[in-house]
Homo-oligomer: A and B are copies of this chain.
C-alpha cells in the first residue's frame, strides 16, 4: 500500500501528539493543526488521505470543518469526541465524516479504526463499477442482480437502492437521513424512519437467514444502518 499523509486537527497538544504517534506507523507523513482554519489550509496543501478531527475546536464547529474538507477532498475523516450523543454522531456522519471514536480511547483502538478506514477507502476504489462481494452475497451493479449463496434474490427497486447504498459503503454507518436521501431523492425527510424500517425489514427477510442475529445489515440505534462490520 502506498505511503500517504495524515492530518491531525486538535487544539490540545497532548492528544495531538498521542494521535500523531499512533499514526506514524501507517503514514509516511503526519501533519498537525491546532485550529480549524489551519486544518483546512493543510488539508488543501498536503492532500492527506486521512484526517483525524477533534470536536470542540476554538474557532469552528466540527460540522463546519467536515463540510469544508469534503468540498475538495475525499480523504477519510475520523472524528474524535468526548460526548457520545447519538444526535451529534448522526449530524457528523451527515456532514461527511466516515467514522467516529469517543474519548477516552486507546492507541490500539485508534490504530484499528484507522486501518479499517483505509482498507475501505482502497477496496471502494478497486470495486467501483463491477461487483461487490461479502461472504455469501454477490451484488452485480451492472447486471442488477443479487446472489445469495449462488441463488438469485429478487429485490424491488426500492430494496435494490437501499442494498446498493449500504453495500457500496460497506462497513460505514449510513444515517437515516443519508439513506433516505439516496433512496427517495427529492422527497421531504418526514417519516423517513417509517419507510426505512419496513423496507429494511423486507430486505432482511430476503437476505438474512436469521433476522435476530443479522450477518449483513446491522442497526445502529439512533443513527442508521450499516452493512457488515468492523469491531
Count copies of this chain in the complex.
2
A44 to B226, CA, bound (A): 46
User: Across the interface, do B99 and A2 meet the contact criterion of CB distance under 8 Å?
Assistant: no
| Among B116, B143, B172, contact of A144 (Cβ-Cβ < 8 Å) | B172
Interface string of A151-177 (1 = CB under 8 A from B): 010101100100000000101110000
| Among B106, B160, B223, B229, contact of A2 (Cβ-Cβ < 8 Å) | B106
User: Across the interface, do A220 and B100 meet the contact criterion of CB distance under 8 Å?
Assistant: no
Give the nearest-CB partner of A170 in chain B: B143
Q: Least Cβ distance of A47 to chain B in Å?
A: 8
Q: Least Cβ distance of A2 to chain B in Å?
A: 7
Are A220 and B144 also in contact (CB < 8 A) when A84-B74, A106-B2 are?
Answer: yes
How many A residues are at the interface, by size bracket? 35 or more
Are A171 and B145 also in contact (CB < 8 A) when A105-B125, A109-B125 are?
Answer: yes
Q: Least Cβ distance of A56 to chain B in Å?
A: 13
List chain B residues, Cβ under 8 A from A198: none
A147 to B229, CA, bound (A): 10
List chain B residues, Cβ under 8 A from A100: 128-129
Are A222 and B126 also in contact (CB < 8 A) when A143-B230, A147-B230, A230-B147 are?
Answer: no
Are A221 and B156 also in contact (CB < 8 A) when A84-B74, A125-B102, A129-B100 are?
Answer: yes
Q: Least Cβ distance of A14 to chain B in Å?
A: 14
| Among B74, B128, B152, B160, contact of A229 (Cβ-Cβ < 8 Å) | B152
List chain B residues, Cβ under 8 A from A26: none
Q: Which of A107-149 contact B (CB under 8 A)?
A: 109, 112, 116, 125-126, 128-130, 140, 142-145, 147
